[in-house]
A = this chain, B = another copy of it.
Amino acid sequence: MKQLVVKPGNVFSASVPEAGWSLCAPHFQEQHNKHFESLFAIGSGSLNLRAALPEGLADDPQNVTYMRMPGNVTLEKFKPAKSKWGTYVPGFTDRHPLLNEEMVNLPFPLGCVIEANGERLDMERSTVRAFAYWLDLRDGVVHRTFEWQLARGVVLRVGIHMYVHLVQRHIAWQQFAIEAVRGAATVRLTPFLDGDVRTNGYDHWQTCTPAGTPHGALSMQVRTHGGKDAVVLAQLQGLPRWQVRTGARAVHLSATARVTAGAPLVCTKHIAIATTLDGPQPSRIAQEALAKALRAGDAPLYLEQRLAWAALWSRMDVQIDGDAATQLALRGAMYHLVRANPRTPHAGIDPKMNCGDAYWGRIFWDTEMFVAPFFVYALPELARPLAEFRHVTLAGARQRAAAEGYCGARYPWESDMQGNENCPSFQYGDHEVHISSDVALGQWHYVCATGDTQYLAARAAEIIIEVARYWVTRVEYLPGSPHAHILCVMGPDEYMHAADDNAYTNYLAREVLAVAAEIVNDACGNAALAAVMKKLRVAPAEVRAWRTLAKNILVPYDAKRKLYLQSTDFENKAPVDFKKFWRDRSKCFGTQVSQERLYRVRALKQADVLMMMQLFCTRFTDEQVRAALDFYEPCTTHDSSLSVSTHAMIAARLGDQRKAWDYFKRARAIDFMPDTFTAAEGIHAANAGALWQCVMFGFLGLQPAYLTETLTLTPRLPAAWRAVCCSVMWHGARVALAVHKSYVEVTPDRALCVCINGVTKRCPAGTATRFD
């Protein structure tokens, strides 16, 4: 990284995009504005802001009420809009009349109308040159710099910079720097707060109270229909006195300055946002946070931000030598994973990474299966709250199980912060029962990778055992069958909505039962665990029943073809003529057929059996994996963003470099490549996590910790890659890895055994051990 330049006053005057570290919007395009709002989203985890243009666009109302209906969100077409203001505090939710509990879009705090010589800045209309617009991944700062050409040859240089503070997590900071390049101008700034916003078309406010002072203070208090409060404060600096205009749901300040050569206007806006999640007096909390940030001063405040991000990057960065595009995409993914992580067990990362309305801020299986592994191996202290969220919501999962007539815990497909089911469509909410196993496996993954036995006893054991108990009561015994069955489920493939004995579901249920039994076994020599067993009244007979059932649940397999069947009824589905029904391959298959056809044909939305095989890669032979790939790939549509990454890893495992690379490129193109614009409604969280998994599990061949005690890699780098340098956390040790085409160097910070390409060596601490 280059030397950090921080000048007092105009903090970012020298900023330019840094290669390898900057996601860039090369020019302003209205049709991609929403994509970049998400791609450039800034946040501290607890506060997430879409990077909406502060000055706004013409004809772009944010207060349009409409009814978003329940439906298939993958295939949903969202209302076209130029922009979407988005201010999200994960866990701050309220009831939507049709869609259940959702994360509420808070008042827009970033607003600032900019006028010069009577002309209003508007990216669609103003004449702009030397435009640069980027997110710096090193520090999470969004920059926009350009020359604004006014009438009569006047040219201003404008810099707009903003970030959310990673340490002072209530704080967002903005700067508007305007200097005269040619001529002079009277510049009028109108910073504002606007509470007239919607979440999925719904107005959540019971009350909205805006206020402002001539000294540059802005405030807005909102109360949801459910009685929760949020407070937005802002303090303007750089202009002495402001005119205040207060509306019903907005408050504007206005002030004017003369900008001439050598006399720039530099105006900062410190923003503080707090909610009832922070305490009973969010107003006081926001005030204190704002005062602290103001006391710090712009440069020190930013330095703290920069250092906090640098500390994370030093631990999580994965350097890819030979592939700049993947390098940037992967860093973009990791940036957003860290940015969105709410760092509390009372919230989570939604499938759009807390920077859009589309997935309502709810927690899906994406967390355990796609997002959490990155944290587990890179930043385990940030994996912990994600795992702990499932303990916070265990009571909800227990109630759900009881309400449906089962024992134990049944996790919701779309979880709110209390563990209630919020999915309004039964085929997912009722049938995607694999979620409970996903949750349990996520707990086990965290425990196995970190070796955190304290967490096992305090949290994970209870969850895993309660899910095992659910399965005991959820299985069915059919007359004449020697097996236990799990009927009428939706597996990961959401295009088969009511399958019997889905292999993925059943395999994971077996695994949970086996792990639960193993944990009980381990409790013999562990007082904390033994206490948990006592509390849960785990009896030996129950454990025997788990062990029996773990063997007894049918995982449909055709030994002749060495083929795991997605479900016992899979081959009763009708073959589908993709040529006839999937004419436009640029769009989802699912948008081109009726749902009633979709639900009865052999068209997979996403990897299903393959995902099971990837998760438990050591348990299946290459022959079995190849049989599954050959059988399912031709009928897999990859309509889900969760699909291509699994295929990339499976292909890598089979040594099919070309196929692995093709699928990986498709995964990379979701959100993070300069020529695709897929993030309008938010960043695809699962894919972001999966990009990291493709590199680590796929191309480095890292085996998950629940499959092996020994850190094990089997690298198969893509052709263009010369080397990958990174580190992983393994049982509490940090292990630096330098994976080259022909050799691997391993440097743990604590001596441990490592297995590379089947060769196991004990690697001493602090020095590189080379595997050829």
Contact = CB atoms under 8 A, between A and B. Distances in A.
> Which of A69, A404, A488, A497 has the most CB atoms of chain B within a 10 A radius of its CB?
A488
B574 A485 contact: yes
B575 A430 contact: no
A718 B745 CA distance: 91
Contact of A600 (B67, B488, B581): B488
A405 to B, nearest CB: 7
A352 interface: no
A14 interface: no
A158 to B, nearest CB: 44
Given A498-B599, A599-B498, A487 B572 contact: yes
Contacts of A357: none
A452 interface: no
A571 B403 CA distance: 26
Contacts of A479: 571, 575
A477 B403 CA distance: 41
20 contacts: A67-B97, A69-B98, A98-B98, A403-B594, A404-B597, A405-B580, A405-B594, A430-B595, A433-B596, A476-B574, A476-B575, A476-B600, A477-B574, A478-B571, A478-B572, A487-B573, A487-B574, A488-B596, A568-B572, A569-B572
A164 B634 CA distance: 64
A404 B596 contact: yes
Nearest to A403: B594
Taking chain A's interface residues, is the majority helix, strand, or loop, or is none over half, making it mixed? loop
A500 B581 CA distance: 22
A572 B568 CA distance: 10
Contacts of A594: 403-405, 430
Nearest to A487: B600
Interface in A420-451: 426, 430-431, 433
A528 interface: no
Contacts of A569: 500, 569, 572
Contacts of A426: 595-596
A248 interface: no
B500 A497 contact: no
Interface in A646-682: none
A64 interface: no
Interface string A561-580: 00000001101111100001
A451 to B, nearest CB: 37
B431 A596 contact: yes
A96 B685 CA distance: 36
A291 interface: no
Interface string A462-488: 000000000000001111000001011
Given A487-B600, A498-B599, 9 more contacts: A405-B581, A426-B596, A431-B596, A476-B574, A478-B571, A479-B571, A479-B575, A488-B596, A568-B572
A593 interface: yes
Nearest to A498: B498
A430 to B, nearest CB: 4
Nearest to A430: B596
A574 B404 contact: no
Interface in A393-437: 403-405, 426, 430-431, 433
Interface in A51-73: 67, 69
Interface in A590-633: 593-597, 599-600
Copies of this chain present: 2
9 closest Cβ contacts across the A-B interface?
A: A488-B600, A476-B574, A430-B596, A404-B594, A487-B600, A498-B498, A488-B599, A500-B572, A487-B574
A232 to B, nearest CB: 30
A222 to B, nearest CB: 23
Contacts of A405: 580-581, 593-594, 597
Contacts of A98: 67, 69, 98
> Which of A478, A575, A597 has the most CB atoms of chain B within a 10 A radius of its CB?
A597
Nearest to A72: B426
> Which of A405, A485, A568 has the most CB atoms of chain B within a 10 A radius of its CB?
A405
Contacts of A599: 430, 488, 498
A403 B591 CA distance: 12
Interface string A722-750: 00000000000000000000000000000
A381 B571 CA distance: 50
Contacts of A403: 594
Contacts of A67: 97-98
A369 to B, nearest CB: 22
Contacts of A573: 487
A97 B70 CA distance: 13
> Which of A485, A569, A574 has the most CB atoms of chain B within a 10 A radius of its CB?
A574
Contacts of A597: 404-405
> Which of A403, A593, A599 has the most CB atoms of chain B within a 10 A radius of its CB?
A599
A575 B67 CA distance: 41
Contacts of A433: 596
Contacts of A593: 405
Nearest to A480: B571
A477 B595 CA distance: 19
A404 B405 CA distance: 38
A593 B500 CA distance: 19
A477 B577 CA distance: 12
A181 B404 CA distance: 61
A69 B500 CA distance: 29
Interface in A88-103: 97-98
A403 B430 CA distance: 28
